[in-house]
Each structure stands twice: as structure tokens, then as C-alpha cells.
Homo-oligomer: A and B are copies of this chain.
Amino acid sequence: MARTASLSGFPEWLPEERLVEQHVLDTLRRVFELHGFASIETRSVETVGQLLRKGEIDKEVYGLSRLQDDEGGTPDRGGKADQHALALHFDLTVPFARYVVENAGYLAFPFRRYQIQKVWRGERPQEGRAREFTQADIDVVGDGELPFRYDVEIALVIAEALSALPIPDFQLRVNNRKLAEGFYRGIGLTDTAGVLRSIDKLEKIGPAKVAELLKSELGATDEQAQKALQLAGIRTGDLSFVAQVRALGVSNDLLEEGLNELEQVIDAAVQRAPGKVLADLSIARGLDYYTGTVVETVLVGHEQLGSICSGGRYDALASKGNRKFPGVGLSIGVTRLVSRILSQDLAKASRSVPTAVLVALANDDNWGAAQDVAAQLRSRGIPTEVAAKAEKFGKQIKFADRRGIPFVWFTDDDGTHQVKDIRSGKQVVAAPETWMPPAADLVVQVATAGAVPAQVS
């Protein structure tokens, strides 16, 4: 990872790095599909009007304009004023909401989908923050109503998916907006959005400054500020957070509802994903319009990387007239994870190409016969290349070696086939119809440092 991107904020991987990324993507897809999530993709562009639908956004959006426009004008140009101008999506939630509304007549609700695509944000690039990056989202969306159970399920699916990746230990930190807002109301703070905005800064500016903010901007008393901070200080890996909240002596119906919801999530997680999910009452999720469960996720020991998976519950992910589509979902920052895996050598591909066997050429006329051997190997799932020229065998072996191709196939003039493991030098007589490499050599393995290699699907 000595290389830096030639365009800041737009990372690109070498083939052996891309294999690690593919392993991550394939693993996520496999887990999502095992849980019945259907794949969709949405177009990369939305209208500016759609992107700004929820009002204020804090994302930097890239607008589009056609270069070769004859009038020299910019009909597609993303001016703030032009709601019909096109721009690249900055997340997968806004496009998904639009997709649900447009296709509501064709979808079966509750609709569960996964979506793995690139998104773009014109922000200042830094580690963990790219301008083009891949997100992997799962959401369940209902028509009119959506049982709370999906909040529990989504958290468990994500815990399972992240557990299958070659990454360090992680923690899903879960809170509930109803719990927080009910609590703030219970202590007499009515601008709950304002309180959340301040609490969101806790990690950045510390409790003393948050208390100041609460008092100066929201008119909180000393006691109110302290109570809000006490709530935000609660973090438990079990159900003890319930008693800790109750001990603060605040009573409010919304608080009770949120407490009950969060209890359901943590209760299931303690059993089904032990150690992976915490109740963390400091989680606020800034400007986003969540209405219940909220989640952020950190890699243990890599907390400064920021959240690698975030999301939560929207009472109205989308709406169409009076019809509301509540949703709950989480979004994994794939590029953020892959960048960290690569920069810290957390996992490695066993070779830089899919090829398991190189069929060598004894002379240039044998290319057709070599292709026959290759076709037989491929027909049994063995990735195979044929040498393009009958160079010296040493050179052909070097060709394989440079790419990490483990086996080179030779055919003698008398038609005898032999295959050489170029790592050990061991060479055996083999038949193209039956020979198989060991399973660990058949396809590229992505191995975690110190763990059992995982197979790339």
C-alpha cells in the first residue's frame, strides 16, 4: 500500500487488492441472500430535487452537466435552484426510497432488499473518507406498518455479515430515538433535535463543552444538562442499561416505548450475537431523520476510523400521498473497511490472478492441443491459462511464479501429461480429464492474518 490514488479521494485497487474487495462483497452478498434479501440497483443519478427532498443535507453532492452540449450551456447542470438537474447519489437510502415509491405496485411488502453500489460525495478526502466509495445496504420496508421485529433482525443479519469478514472485532452500538427524545421531554427539554445535535458532538468536544452548548443554545439548566449527559454515558453489553436509565428517575411514555424497543434488540443480540452488540445511549446519528432504532458500528482498536456500519429506523422512509412506507436498514461502508484491511494487511489474497494452472507450450504448434487440455480443466471448474508462446520452460514457469499460479502443466511429445507444483517442485503424471488441484489451490483464498483462509466464491 505504498501507492496513493492518482486522484485524491478516488481509490483504485491492484488485482490482488481487488480480490480482497471481491471477497468482502461476495461474503456480504452470500449472507444477505441467505437471509432472503433480494438484490436491487438504482441508477447512479437522481434529480437534485429528489436529493434535497428531506430538506437540509450535510452531504457534498456532485452535479452533472453534458460537456459536448452544442449551445455551450449546461441544461443538466446541477444548480441549486434547478430541481430537475441531475446529480450523483450520495447514499443508497434516498434512491431506494424513490425506487419503492415508483415501484410500489410491483413489490411485495414487507420488501427486503440489499443494494451494493458506489456513491459519491465531494468531501475533503482523508483516510476512511473517499469521494467515490462502495456501500452495502440492507433495508426492510413495509407498506403502512412494519413490525418492530425487523429492527432486531436487521441488527442480527449485520452482525452475522460483519462476523464473516476478515476484519477485527466490531461493536454495533445501538440507541433508540424514542428513548432519547422521551427522556429529554421527561426532563423538560422540548427541542429534542437540538439536544441530539449537541449530544452528537460528545466524542468530538467532550461532556463539559456539550453541557455548555445545552445551556447556552437550548436554555437547559445545569441539572437538565447533567441528566442528558448521564443518559448519554450509559453503555452496556447486556440488559442492565434498562435499570441504569430507570435509576435516573425520569418518566415519559415515549421513553418507555424506546426502552422496550432497545431492550428487544439487546435481548436478542445477547443470545444470538454475544459480544457484538451494545446499548450505547450516546449514539445520536446527527442530522439523519431516524425515528426509533439508531446504530453505529466501530472496529475495536480502530475507533478513529469512524462508523463502518450505520443506520436505523425511519417511520416514513418514503411516502406516496397518504401512504407511508416505514423502513429499517443498515449501511456498511465497504470501501472504508477494505481500505483499512489493505492498509493494515489484515487479509491477503493467496495469488494475484484467478488462474490455478498454466498450460505450458513445448512448441508453438501445440497451442491447439494445449487449449484442449485447458478446456477439459475448465470444464471441471479449474481456472486455466495457456501460454501464448513456446518460450523456454524456465521462462514459462517464471510467468506462473510472478502471478502466484501454483501449477504448470506440461505435455510431452508422446502425449504424456505432467503437472508441476512450482512451489514444491513436485511433478506428477496427470490426466486432464481427472486431475484436480487441492481445494486450497483451486480458487483464490483470502486469508486473515492468523486465521483460517476463506474461500473466494
Question: Which residues of A are interface residues toward B (Cβ below 8 A)?
Answer: 3, 5-7, 10-15, 18-19, 22, 33-45, 47-48, 60-68, 76-80, 86-88, 98-99, 102-103, 106-108, 110, 112-113, 118, 120, 122, 132, 147, 149-150, 153, 156, 268, 271-272, 352-355, 367-368, 371, 378, 381-386, 388-389, 399, 402-403, 457
Contact = CB atoms under 8 A, between A and B. Distances in A.
A108 B402 contact: yes
Given A10-B43, A12-B42, A388 B18 contact: no
14 contacts: A5-B43, A14-B40, A18-B41, A35-B383, A36-B354, A36-B355, A43-B132, A44-B118, A45-B132, A65-B65, A67-B122, A112-B385, A149-B388, A272-B371
Given A43-B7, A149-B367, A368-B268, A384 B64 contact: no
A108 B65 contact: no
Given A76-B62, A403-B108, A33 B354 contact: yes
A34 B67 contact: no
Nearest to A130: B43
A384 to B, nearest CB: 7
B38 A352 contact: yes
B65 A39 contact: no
A64 B78 CA distance: 9
A18 B353 CA distance: 28
Given A41-B12, A43-B12, A62-B76, A36 B67 contact: no
A65 B77 contact: yes
A179 to B, nearest CB: 22
Contacts of A63: 64-67
Contact of A34 (B15, B86, B122, B383): B383
Contact of A62 (B66, B268, B272): B66
Nearest to A30: B381
A68 B61 contact: yes
A383 B15 contact: no
B60 A62 contact: no
B378 A35 contact: yes
Contacts of A402: 108
Contacts of A45: 7, 10, 132
Contact of A88 (B33, B34, B64, B457): B64
A351 to B, nearest CB: 9
Contacts of A36: 353-355, 383-385
Contacts of A132: 43-45
A396 B10 CA distance: 46
A115 to B, nearest CB: 10
Given A11-B43, A63-B64, A156-B371, 20 more contacts: A3-B106, A12-B41, A14-B107, A15-B38, A15-B40, A15-B107, A18-B38, A35-B384, A36-B353, A36-B354, A38-B352, A60-B66, A60-B68, A62-B66, A62-B67, A62-B76, A64-B64, A64-B88, A108-B399, A112-B353
Contacts of A68: 60-61, 122
B41 A13 contact: yes
A134 B181 CA distance: 45
Contacts of A86: 7
